[in-house]
A and B are shown apart, each in its own frame.
Chain A
Amino acid sequence: MKSLSRILAVLRKEVRQLRRDRLTFGMVVGLPVMQMLLFGYAINTDVRNLEAAVADQADTHLSRQFVAELAQTQVIDIVDRVATPEQLEALLRQGDISIGVYIPRDFDRRVVDGTRAAAHLLVDGSDPTILGVANQLRLMPFGFDAGNAARSAPQALEVRPYYNPERRTPVNIVPGLMGVILTMTMILFTAVAIVRERERGNLELLINTPVSSLELMIGKVVPYILIGMVQLALILAVGRLLFDVPVRGSVVDLYLAAMAFIAANLSLGLFISTAARTQFQATQITVFILLPSILLSGFMFPFEGMPEVAQWLGEVLPNTHFIRLTRGIMLRDAALGDLLGEMAYLLGFTVVAMTGAALRFTKRLD
């Protein structure tokens, strides 16, 4: 009973201080929205309208039809027509175009012949995304006129993107972004919240009162769980309204997964707070965890494509498991029961980090 009232006292104090700290309060709301807008609009691996130039030296009926079909894909946007491949190279070098289409004089014969490439794509290979797009273009079915139908090479493979048929990037980004934003705010807020009290000397006062370490930790952490929930709701709302990101699975499952993830991050934040002496150190350690959480969690790059060592590191990070959960629940309509392994990891992580923090956080100064 006394214990509960002490926890409530710490909790009330924390909320009161949070309300007065406009910067943090702004971060709670502003950060998720800003990041959603930035990532949602700026990151786009779904490339369209790459600037291209054509050097059509054949200039036949067939070559003109070929160029027209390329343009129809909307992948390239033909902005210039030149006479020679050298001119294409110059434009590439200057960065005026990303793709040059060179059609040699004997284009028709090459098409009929079929042993040599009929046309060349000169690609700015310095950007892997553009290179990838060019590779897709190579597979473009080139359906000729009825008379030439026999020569339209049938495609070996056809790609059917499940769960994201329109291949829109935000659909893929938003579930991962939830994890990144929560990682950042949850770890940072808790780590800083305790280190700040140590820096200001408040902790020396607090540990001389009857409040226990556990009561203090619970009282400090609970407000941030609520903040995490608010942020999650904000991200889902922005994702829905601006980017039309679906939640195909159950929202309850999603919130349960988020609870486990928030708990994992808060425990990690608490653990950091027992190691860091200053707010600056706490911030540094948070960034140290945040970067791999963005790069190695499968948020930016496909997890399976990473080197094995990077995958091991990725497996340790809570965000990796949360992203699997969110993508599963939001996009694949998976139930929490299908993803128990990921949930178990998050809960296990929480227990370990929390125990570590409680062991390290003593009510003494030495």
Chain B
Amino acid sequence: MSREFAIEARGLTKRFGDLVAVSQLDLDVPRGTIYGFLGPNGSGKSTTIRMLCGLLMPSEGKALVLDTEVPGDARRLKPRIGYMTQKFSLFGDMTVFENLQFIAEIYSYPRRERAGRIEELLERYDLRDQRRQLAGTMSGGQKQRLALACAVLHRPELLLLDEPTSAVDPQSRRDFWSALFRLAEAGTTILVSTHYMDEAERCHRLAILDHGVKVADGTPTELQAGTGMHVVEVTSSNPYQAQQVIADLPAVASVTQLGVRLRVLIPDSEDNPVALVEEAMRAANLDTHAELSTASLEDVFVAVTLKPQSKAA
């Protein structure tokens, strides 16, 4: 019995034939937080979320979700969790109101409070004008707001969101995240998967997944502090050539180009990373300005997904 964690998973593994989609995943999601899953497509984010809500049977391992064994007791868990699918999964040939009504009925939301709850959600998620519109004809942002409204209608303790913002514009994304913060403040635990760095940065904690393996987890600040790498930002008038020169240095773990700037990751063991870079640039007759920088979440992501490769090399 854990009051501390909404989700505790140990050794969660899912194989599809020969493919290992998720491998030995341990996860602790504290109650009332927004917990992010960061990773590229195919890194096992959706598979993990689906295992946690009982949609997929884990090949190995088990999870305790809201103190309920998954997959064993998934049925008892359903009324307590809300799930938002990656693809819009509400009924396109029904109106916004009808969709909400159907969800309310399916979750046996108290009949007397139903109408009030639906009005409240229409208001909060700015869908009053779309009330009689067929859900299939709405914009991406509107569909997403409807999906969230449906997922939270029955006031779930835990909300699982599978790449909720992949099909919407930046303004809708900002609005969506402020809605998530409100829900978290009200005590809802939220597990959200994303491949956007800026979204990951807003999470209270996050786990970085790569090829089905959790390569790092912690608060964004912890992750940024714990890369084990120096980050050197290099500016040059010839960034392409500069990238080639720096990448050839044996000490350098990775070089990423961002416009005219290069983000260079060099292991902590190197004492003077800036000098190392400047020396190489001078030797190649390239103008340069190098300085130490703090790791962004993107740097963290690059650093942790590098590890298996550098070990192999």
**Chain A residues with a Cβ under 8 A of chain B:** 2, 5-6, 8-10, 12-13, 16-17, 20-21, 200-202, 204-212, 363-366
Contacts and interface: CB of A to CB of B under 8 A. Distances in A.
Given A13-B94, A364-B55, A365-B56, A208 B108 contact: no
Given A17-B93, A209-B103, A201 B88 contact: yes
Contacts of B88: 201
Contacts of A12: 102, 105
Contacts of B105: 5-6, 8-9, 12
B78 A17 contact: no
B56 A205 contact: no
B92 A6 contact: no
A208 B94 contact: no
Contacts of A206: 106
A17 B95 CA distance: 10
A366 B55 CA distance: 8
A201 B89 CA distance: 5
Nearest to A219: B106
Contact of B107 (A20, A207, A210, A212): A210
B28 interface: no
A211 B79 CA distance: 10
22 contacts: A5-B105, A9-B102, A12-B102, A12-B105, A13-B98, A13-B102, A16-B94, A17-B91, A17-B93, A17-B94, A20-B93, A21-B93, A201-B88, A204-B87, A206-B106, A208-B53, A208-B81, A209-B106, A210-B75, A210-B108, A366-B56, A366-B57
Contacts of A210: 75, 78-79, 106-108
Interface string B50-77: 1001111100000000000001001100
Given A12-B105, A16-B94, A364-B71, 9 more contacts: A9-B105, A21-B93, A200-B92, A201-B85, A205-B85, A205-B90, A363-B54, A365-B56, A366-B16
Instruction: Name the prevailing secondary structure of the B interface residues.
Output: loop
B44 to A, nearest CB: 14
A200 B92 CA distance: 9
Contacts of A2: 108
Interface residues of B, number: 31
A205 B87 CA distance: 10
Contacts of B103: 209
A200 B89 contact: yes
Contacts of A17: 91, 93-94
Interface string B101-127: 011011110000000000000000000
A2 B93 CA distance: 26
B301 interface: no
Interface of B: 16, 50, 53-57, 71, 74-75, 78-79, 81, 83, 85, 87-94, 98, 102-103, 105-108, 150
Q: Is the interface of A mostly helix, strand, loop or mixed?
A: helix
A21 B93 CA distance: 8
A210 B88 CA distance: 19
A10 B94 CA distance: 13
Nearest to B147: A205
B180 to A, nearest CB: 19
Contact of B106 (A6, A201, A364, A366): A6
A366 B94 CA distance: 28
Contacts of B54: 363-364
Contacts of A201: 85, 87-89
B78 A209 contact: yes
B69 to A, nearest CB: 15
Nearest to B162: A204
Contact of B78 (A8, A208, A365): A208
B93 A209 contact: no
A170 B176 CA distance: 64
A354 B188 CA distance: 40
A354 B107 CA distance: 26
A201 B88 CA distance: 7
Nearest to A203: B89
Most buried by B among A2, A9, A209, A365: A209
A305 to B, nearest CB: 47
A21 B91 CA distance: 13
Contacts of A10: 106
B89 A9 contact: no
Contacts of B71: 364
Given A5-B108, A16-B98, A210-B106, A205 B89 contact: yes
Interface centre among A5, A6, A17, A366 (most CB of B within 10 A): A366
Contacts of A207: 55
